[in-house]
Amino acid sequence: MFLSTLRRRNPGLLEAAIALHQRGDVPTNSTVLDLEAMERNSKALAATAAGLGLRPLAMTKQIGRNPDAVASIMAGGIDTAVAVDLECGLAVAAAGMPVGHLGHLVQIPRARADEAAALTPDYWTVFSLEKAREAGAAAVRAGRRQRVLARLMADGDRFYRGHEGGFAAQDVVRIADELDAIEGIEFAGITSFPTMLFDPASRTVRPTPNLATLTAARTALEAAGRQRVEMNTPGTTSSSILAELAAAGSTQVEPGHGLTGTTPLHAVEDLVEEPAIAYVSEVSHLHDGDAYVFGGGLYVDPVLGTTPTRALLVPRGGGLDDAVELAVEMPVPGAIDYYAVVPQAPATVAAGDTVIFGFRPQVFVSRSLTVGISGVGSQPRAHRPWSSNGAPAITIQDARTGWEGTR
């Protein structure tokens, strides 16, 4: 999906990934991240957002909350994160980035509300009064007052199956008053997802009905006398759509794939954000003429539907100029991704050859390691590998000592 874009716009990342993998510095089954490119992407997003009066919050689940990449994002000017769930909040906080938004898309489990409150999120989204009371009680126990966002929904709004839930948008003024009446919290604003989506027919990003629902709700709240209503509008976020979101009344945006240049729009148009991510594997073995490629991180985000996957196969000792681009048969979604298959691979392909993919990942749902690379285009250096949940990758010392070596 993004392999051709990488070859054209960031070949240095491919060259670095190949060389570092063959040197043994980047393990097989690693998602590699161009740290300087991510800093530039963050800087572009932050500058555009600031000019429009928007606050950007970084979604880092797609990159496994890699701490080196988090540092690059912060260096670029986006200094707080949105956490997709509590584990994400804990991981990104451990990586050094404060949590700006928690509870959306995934609500906080009842028994873990105190853990969420301890993260001191700027905003906490609630889908119901019951979840709001849990948040309020936890905030009281933590000795603080928590600002909450109400997740809204209206007839005609679009939600992915399994993402549904929230308050009826037509009741937003009453809901805001009811939330304010709960001890420990104060109503701060509204949110929904997705508010923008890629339209394959027009090859553009367009607002969903959810965005109009939020705009109407904010208007109703302001007419009722509420000032500075926060309007959080995630979905397909790149610099190119921020002006449209600001015009609709948004105050908060949440770039995720925009930070690695892998939103759907980046697949069809060159935007200011650069492609900054690739997946590194190698040929495991050959069987009946097919080459089997190690998996573990072969989850491809299905936002663009089913698309053919291609990869670069690079012989040991070779570089990008020696790469052969071939079609790859990916594991079916219901299977564990132990291997991908290159059908009827050329006779020159051998076990140990480097394989580079350029798909759009969601590292946090995979078994992929993540590795930041600095010095792309000059003297590339691989930083330490991290696990897909943002924790340090397990070493042989950890395996032998039962973690004693890292305590």
Beta strands 290-294 and 277-287: pairing type?
Answer: antiparallel
Cis peptide before 98 (omega within 30 of 0): no
**Residue 208 token pair:** 């969903």
Helix (H, G, I), strand (E, B) or coil at 148: strand
Burial of 189 (0-12, 13-18, 19+ CB in 10 A): buried
Q: How far is CA 139 from the centre of its chain?
A: 27
CA distances from 165 to 61, 170, 174, 379 (A): 22, 15, 18, 49
d(CA 142, CA 185): 12
What is the CATH architecture of 79-254? Alpha-Beta Barrel (3.20)
Q: Let me know if the fold of 3-13+15-28+275-406 is the same as that of 79-254.
A: no
Return the domain boundaries, the chain: 3-13+15-28+275-406, 79-254
Give the closest residue to 297 by CA, choosing from 382, 388, 372.
388
The one-character DSSP state at 329 is B
Task: Give me the DSSP letters along 183-194.
Answer: TTEEEEEEE-S-
Q: How many CB atoms lie within 10 A of CB 26?
A: 25
Query: What does each of the 407 residues of the chain score in pLDDT, given as a tens digit?
Result: 799 999 999 999 999 999 999 999 999 999 999 999 999 999 999 999 999 999 999 999 999 999 999 999 999 999 999 999 999 999 999 999 999 999 999 999 999 999 999 999 999 999 999 999 999 999 999 999 999 999 999 999 999 999 999 999 999 999 999 999 999 999 999 999 999 999 999 999 999 999 999 999 999 999 999 999 999 999 999 999 999 999 999 999 999 999 999 999 999 999 999 999 999 999 999 999 999 999 999 999 988 777 899 999 999 999 999 999 999 999 998 899 999 999 999 999 999 999 999 999 999 999 999 999 999 999 999 999 999 999 999 988 888 887 554 44
Backbone angles phi, psi at 324, to 5 degrees: -115, 125
Give the closest residue to 146 by CA, choosing from 191, 116, 176, 166.
116
At residue 117, the pLDDT reads: 98
- Please say whether the beta carbons of 215 and 232 come within 8 A: no
Of the candidate CATH numbers 2.40.160.10, 3.40.50.80, 2.40.37.30, 2.70.50.60, the domain formed by 3-13+15-28+275-406 belongs to 2.40.37.30
- Please say whether the beta carbons of 231 and 250 come within 8 A: yes
At residue 404, the pLDDT reads: 56
Q: How much is the mean pLDDT over the chain?
A: 96
At residue 407, the pLDDT reads: 43
Say how many CA atoms lie within 13 Å of 291 toward its Cβ.
25
Query: For 117-146, how does the pLDDT look when each residue is reduced to its tens digit (9 = 90+)?
Result: 999 999 999 999 999 999 999 999 999 999
d(CA 400, CA 407): 13
- Please say whether the beta carbons of 315 and 283 come within 8 A: no
- Please say whether the beta carbons of 46 and 76 come within 8 A: yes
Please tell me the total number of residues recorded for the chain in this structure: 407
pTM higher than 0.75:
yes
Backbone angles phi, psi at 186, to 5 degrees: -140, 140
Task: Give me the DSSP letters along 58-71.
Answer: EE-GGGTT-HHHHH
d(CA 93, CA 101): 12
d(CA 407, CA 103): 31
d(CA 25, CA 380): 11
d(CA 217, CA 214): 5
At residue 333, the pLDDT reads: 85
The one-character DSSP state at 300 is B
